[in-house]
Chain A
Amino acid sequence: MSATDATGSFLSPHAVATPPGAEGWEQLYPYYALLSEATKDVEERELWFFDGMHNPSPIYPFDTIMTENWWVACNQLTTRVWQIPPSWGIDHRIINGYLYISPRGVSDPQQIAERAEHFQRRAGHYYANWDEIYDNWIVKAEDCIGRLKAISFAPLPDREQESFVTEHRGLFSSYDLLTSYDRLIENLFEMGAYHFEMLNLGYGAYLTFKEFCQEAFPGITDQTVARMVAGIDILLFRPDDEVRKLARLAVELGLADLVRDTADANALLAAIGEAPRGDEWLQALEAAKDPWFWYSTGAGYTHTDRAWIDDLRLPFTAMRGYIDKLEAGEDIDRPLERVLEERTRITAEYRELLGTDDDREAFDQLVQLARTVYPYVENHNFYVEHWHHSIFWSKVRELGDVFVAHGFIADREDLFLLHRNEIHSALYDLIIGWAAGTGGRGPTHWPPIVEERKRQLAALREWTPPPALGTPPDAITEPLTIMLWGITTERVQEWLGASDPDASELRGVAASPGKARGRAMVVTDPEQLHEVQRGDILVCRVTAPSWAPVFSRLGAAVSDVGGIMAHTAIVSREYGLPAVVGTGYGTQTIKTGQLIEVDGDTGVVRILQEGDA
C-alpha cells in the first residue's frame, strides 16, 4: 500500500484496507466516530492526520471517552465560546482503530470578522484576569479530583444492609451503582472541560511570543524561546523530585544496598519493611505517592498508560540510578538556580539586541504574558492527564471488579472492551439480574464479544497507521494543530515527499538540542521500556514525560509525532536529551538494533548501519 498517490494527496481515508483478522472492527466504536458513505465526499476532501501523540495504539472502546471528550471540549471553546476567528476546530474519525483528526478552517471573511469581535472581548477577559482565573482553576480541578476519589464501586450484596431499612433510605445499592457510574462519567467530562478552558489561549500567548522572537531573531530555536519562558516549579518534575528525595533518604537510612539488589518492587517493599528504620522510608513513600505517583507512564489518555502508583518499577529504576549517583558523590538536585539565572541572562541579552524602544516594550510585555500563561500550559498536564485521569482509570478498574463479581466478564481489564454507553446498558442488565435474581443476560452476552474485540484489536495493532490521509489544504491554519501537534504546511509537504519506508534519513522537529549516535530501540508498547539499555536511542510513536527516568539512560529520543509544545519536548529539554519529534515514519523506518544518529539541532535522524542483532 502506497501512502501517497500521484496527485500530491495522501491515500483516501475511504481507501484504507482493513487489516486481516480485524474485520468488523467498526462495531468497537460509536457510529459517529466512523467514516461513512454519506459523508465520503467531505471526508476525502479533508486532511486527516494520525494523532499518535495521544493515542499511539488502537483505541479500546471504553477509552474513546477521552477522544470523544476533547472532540467536544476543545472544539466548543474554539467554535462556540472564544469563537477563534479562523478556526472551526478539529474533527475526528477512528480509522482501523486509530484516531485521525482533521483541522478545519473558516474562510469567509465576513464570518471571521463577526467572530473576531466576540473573540477579542472574551479572550481579552481571560488574559486580563489570567492569574486569578488560574488560581480558581486549580481550586476547581482539585475539587473535581476530590469528588472523583470519593466515587467507589462494590459488588451488589446478596442481602441489603439493615440500616437501609431502619434509616428509611428508600434508595438501594442498585441505585448507588448506577449513579456512581453516571457520576464517574460526568466527572471525566467535567475535568475534560477544564482541561481546555485555558489551553488554546495559553498556547496562543506563547506562540505569539515565539513568533515575535522568530521575526526579531530569525532562526532562533524553539528551545531557546521556551527557556526564556519556562518556570522552574513545574509540577511535571515533582514526581521525579520525590524520587530523588526517596533516593537520598534510602542512602541516609542505610537502605541503599537493599534498593539496589532487590529488583522486584513488592519484594523490595517487604524487605524495607523489615529493615531497621525501614518504616520511616515507607512512610515517606506513602506521603509522596498521593498525588505525585499518580503519574502516568503514557500520555494519560488510555487505560494502558499505567501510573507509577500502579507499577513502581519505573520510579524504583530511577531511584536506583539516583542512589548510584549519590554514592559516586554526584549532585542529583535539579540545578534550579542555574536554570533561573540562564533564563534571566538569555532574556536580557535578546532584549538588548532589539533595535528600538517599541521593540523592547513589545518584547517585555510578550515575555511577561507568556510567563503568565506558561504555568497553566505546563501544569494542566499534571492535574488532568496524570493526577485525575490515573485515578479515573483506577475507578473504572474498580467497576470492572464489580462486573467480574457478577460474572459478566472474566477480568477487570475486559471492561475496557466495552464502550461507555454499552457499560451503561450492561449495568442496567446487571441490576435487573440482581433485582430479579436472574443473574442478567450479561454473563452469556458479553464474554464472546469481549474475546472477539480482543482479537480485532490485536489485528489492528499489527497495522501501521500512515501519518496522514486525504487531501492536504493549501495551508494549515488551525491554531492548535500548529501549536500542539506541530503539523504545519511544510511538515505535510515533507510527509508527502518522504513516505519511502526505505529512506535512511528522516526529518522532524528539532525538539531538544544536541547530537547523539547509538543503537536504536524501537518501543511501541510502554512494557518495552524496561528493555532499554544505557546509551540506546529511543524510537517511539510518542514519548511521555513520565518516561523521564528511562530518559536518563538514553542517548537520544525520536518520535513519530509531536510538536515543540508537546509534553515530551518540555521534559527532553530539561533532561538535556537530544530529541527529534514528529518524524512521521520513525517507528516504521527504523529497526531495533540499527546504529542511528539523532541531530536535535536540525531535526534530522540518520540510519548509519544495519543492526547486528
Chain B
Amino acid sequence: MTALRTIVWIDQADGAGSELLGGKLGSLVEMTEAGFDVPPAFGITTAAFALFAEHTGLQQAAKEQCAGLDLDDLQAVERVSAQLAQIIEDAPMPPRLTAEVTEAYEALEQRTGMPGVPVAVRSSGVSEDLEGASFAGQYDTYLWVCGPEDVLRNVRRCWAGLFGPQVLTYRPQDGVPVIDGDTLPGMCVGVQQMVQARAAGVMFTLDPVNGDRSKIVLEGCWGLGEGVVKGDITPDRFRVDKVTLELLASEIGTQTEEYGFDEATREVGLLAVEPERGAQPCLSDAEAVAIAELGKRIERHRGAPMDMEWAIDQEGRLHLLQARPETVWASKPVRSVTGDGAGGAAVDRVLAKFMSFGAGTTGR
C-alpha cells in the first residue's frame, strides 16, 4: 500500500498521467511541464478515491444500488443518487487520506506564503476532458475554499457529484453507462490555488462559430471567470489572428456585476462593479493579444485546437487555469474551401473569379 499515490502535485507528477489524475489535472501537469504558468495544484488521485470507496463500502453500495436500476425512471435515479451521496458524506474518511490532504494543503500554504490560501476544488474524472467525450460542466467546482477541513468536505462533494442523476443516466455513444456497477469510474479531485482574478475568461484557439482555425477567440469578464463559464455575465469578446497575432475585432459590453469573494457571505458570489470600470473593456488590447499568444503556444504544444480558461491577477500576471482539446469542431468533418469543384489550378480559379463578378456576387 505504501506505493499508492494518493496525492500528486502537478509540478511533481513524476509520470502520473490521467489514469491517476483524470483528464483535467492530467492536462495541467502537461501544461506545467511545458513551462506554462499554471497556479500550483495537487490532485487527490483516483487511487485515493478507490481507497475511500473500498474503505467505506461505497463500491459495494454502488454496485447494489445500480444493479437493475431503470435509467429512464428519474425518481429512482434521484433516489439512488441521494443515497450514494449520503454515504459519501457520512462515511469516515480513511485517516491516511485526512492526513495526506491536510499535509498537502499546508504545503500549498507554504508555497504560496498564504496561510489559509483560497483554493478551487474541482473534480477531474478519467473519462472527462477526453476528445470527443467531454463531460465539461457535469461536475461541480467549489471556489474559494479555505483550510483543510473545508477542502476535505468539498472533496466529498466532488466524489458525490460522480453519482449525480445526470451522470448516472449519461450514456456515451457506445451505449455502456458510466456507472455500470462492477467498477467505479476513476475520479480525481484537483485542489488549486485560486487566482484572485482582476479579469478572467475562456479562450478557443479556433473560431467556435465557424471552426476557422486561423482565429483565436477569447471571452473575458471582470473578476473570476465563473461569469463567462456559467454564461450569466455578457463577456467582452476579442478575436485575434492566430498567425499575425493582430487583434481583429473586439466587442465590449457594459458589465454591472462580477464574480468575486463576498466578505459578507464568505463565499464566491456576484458583486456590483463600479459603473466606470464596468464600461471599460476588462482587457487591454495588449492583454488580449498576450492571452491569444499563450493560446497559440499551447495549441502548438498539443498539436490541436484547444479550449482554455485563463485569469489575469491583480498584478496583471496571466495564468492558465485549464486547457483541454476543443471537442465540437474536432468531431466535425474537416473544413474545406475547395469543395466547390472550381478546380485546383490557380489560373482556372482566377478565370472563374473574373467570370463571377457579373453574377451579382463577389464570387468564390
Residues of A within 8 A of B (CB): 84-87, 105-107, 112, 116, 119-120, 123-124, 127-128, 201, 204-205, 207-208, 211-212, 215-221, 224, 227, 346, 349-350, 353-356, 358-359, 361-362, 365-366, 368-369, 474-475, 477-479, 482, 513, 601-602
Contacts of A355 in B (CB 8 A): 213, 334-337
Contact among B334, B337, B344, B354 with A216 in the assembled complex (CB-CB below 8 Å):
B337
Q: Tell which of B212, B215, B244, B354 touches A479, judged by Cβ atoms closer than 8 Å.
A: B354
Q: Which residues of B contact A482 (CB under 8 A)?
A: 357, 362
Q: A116-B355, A353-B213 are in contact. Are A366 and B241 (CB under 8 A)?
A: no
| Cross-chain contact of A112 among B347, B355, B364 (Cβ < 8 A) | B355
Which residue on chain A has the smallest CB distance to residue B239?
A: A219
B360 touching A475, Cβ below 8 Å? yes
Interface-side segment among B84-92, B167-175, B226-234, B246-254: B246-254
Interface size for B (C-beta < 8 A) is 40
5 nearest interchain CB pairs? A86-B358, A365-B346, A217-B214, A355-B334, A369-B346
A378: min CB distance to chain B, Å:
18
Among A112, A208, A217, A601, which residue has its beta carbon within 8 angstroms of that of B353?
A208
Could you tell me if A207 and B353 are in contact, using CB atoms closer than 8 angstroms? yes
CB distance from A572 to the nearest CB of B (A): 15
Chain B's closest residue to A358 (CB) is B338
| Closest B residue by C-beta to A347 | B243
Residues of A within 8 A of B347 (CB): 124, 127-128, 369
Tell whether, in the assembled complex, residue B246 and residue A513 are in contact, meaning their CB atoms are under 8 Å apart. Answer: yes
Select which of B249, B349, B357 is within 8 A of A478 by beta carbon: B357
Collect the chain A residues with CB atoms within 8 Å of residue B207's CB.
Answer: 218
**Cα A477 to Cα B364 with chains together (Å):** 14
Given the interface pairs A218-B212, A365-B344, the reply to whether A87 lies near B241 with Cβ below 8 Å is no
Q: Which chain B residues border A208 with CB–CB below 8 Å?
A: 346, 349-350, 353
Q: Quick one: given A218-B207, A218-B210, are A119 and B351 in contact (CB under 8 Å)? A: yes
A86-B357, A359-B336, A362-B344 known; A224 vs B349 contact (CB < 8 Å): no
B248 lies within 8 A of A219 (CB): yes
Shortest CB–CB separation between residue B87 and chain A, in angstroms? 49
Partner of A219, one of B215, B344, B360, B364: B215
Whether B357 and A219, one on each chain, are in contact in the complex, defined by CB atoms closer than 8 angstroms, is no
In the complex, the answer to whether A224 meets B354 with C-beta atoms within 8 Å is no
Residues of the B chain whose Cβ atoms lie less than 8 Å from the Cβ of A369:
346-347, 350
Query: Which residues of chain A have C-beta atoms less than 8 A from B243's C-beta?
Result: 224, 346, 349-350, 353
A114 and B37 alpha carbons, distance in the complex (Å) = 64
Q: Is B324 an interface residue (CB 8 A)?
A: no
Identify which of residues 126-141 in chain B touch chain A, using a CB-to-CB cut-off of 8 Å: none
Task: Decide if B363 is an interface residue (CB 8 Å cutoff).
Answer: yes
A247 to chain B, nearest CB (A): 31
- CB < 8 Å neighbour of A359 from B247, B337, B358, B362: B337
- Give, as a whole number of angstroms, the nearest-CB distance from B138 to chain A: 30
Q: Does B345 belong to the interface (CB within 8 Å)? A: yes
CB distance from A591 to the nearest CB of B (A): 29
Residues in A whose Cβ lies below 8 Å from that of B345 = 365
**A221 / chain B contacts, CB cutoff of 8 Å:** 241, 244, 246, 248
Interface string of B260-286 (1 = CB under 8 A from A): 000000000000000000000000000
Which chain B positions have C-beta within 8 A of A475? 360-361
Known pairs A128-B347, A220-B241, A221-B248; A85 contacts B338 (CB<8 A): no
Do B214 and A353 touch across chains, with their CB atoms under 8 A apart? yes
Interchain CB contact under 8 A, B241 and A224:
yes
Answer whether residue B242 sits at the interface, using C-beta atoms and an 8 A cutoff.
Answer: yes
A86-B357, A204-B353, A358-B344 known; A220+B214 contact, CB < 8 A: yes
B246 and A224 contacting across the interface, CB-CB below 8 Å: yes
Establish whether residues B349 and A366, one from each chain, have CB atoms under 8 Å apart when the complex forms: yes
Inter-chain contacts of A368 with B (CB < 8 A):
346
Considering the complex, give the chain B residue whose CB is closest to the CB of A365.
B346
Q: Which residues of B contact A477 (CB under 8 A)?
A: 357-360
**Chain A proximity of B114: nearest CB distance (Å):** 39
A350 to B337, CA, bound (A): 13
**Cα–Cα, bound, A127→B355 (Å):** 16
A356 touches B334 (CB 8 A): yes
Task: Knowing that A123-B350, A123-B354, A353-B213 touch, tell me 14 more A-B residue pairs with CB under 8 angstroms.
Answer: A86-B356, A105-B358, A127-B350, A208-B350, A208-B353, A216-B212, A218-B212, A221-B241, A224-B243, A355-B336, A358-B344, A359-B338, A361-B344, A601-B246
Contact A217 B358 (CB under 8 A): no
**Roughly how many angstroms separate A123 CA and B353 CA in the complex, as a whole number?**
12
Q: Considering the chains assembled together, what is the distance between the CA atoms of A322 and B76 in angstroms?
A: 83
Flag B332-344 by CB within 8 Å of A: 1 or 0 each: 0011111100001
CA–CA, A351 and B210, complex, Å: 18
Using Cβ atoms and an 8 Å threshold, which residues of chain A touch B361? 475
- In angstroms, Cα B203 to Cα A345, docked, is 24
B363's closest neighbor in chain A, by CB? A211
9 sampled A-B residue pairs with Cβ under 8 A: A105-B358, A116-B355, A204-B350, A211-B353, A221-B248, A353-B213, A355-B335, A365-B349, A601-B248
CB-CB nearest in chain A for B210: A218
Q: What is the chain B residue whose CB lies nearest that of A479?
A: B357
User: With the chains together, A362 CA to B338 CA distance in Å?
Assistant: 7
Q: How far is the CA of A355 from the CA of B213 in the complex (A)?
A: 9
- B213's nearest neighbour on chain A, judged by CB, is A353
Cα of A224 to Cα of B241 in the assembled complex, Å: 10
CA gap between A127 and B347 in the complex, in Å? 7
Taking the nearest CB of chain B, how far is it from the CB of A121, in angstroms?
10
Query: Does the CB pair A123–B351 fall under 8 Å?
Result: yes
Given that A221-B246, A362-B338, A365-B344 are known contacts, is A212 also in contact with B358, CB under 8 Å in the complex? no
* CA–CA, A462 and B338, complex, Å: 52
Which residues of B, 294-343, contact A by the 8 Å Cβ criterion?
A: 334-339
User: Considering only CB atoms, which chain A residue lies closest to B340 in the complex?
Assistant: A215
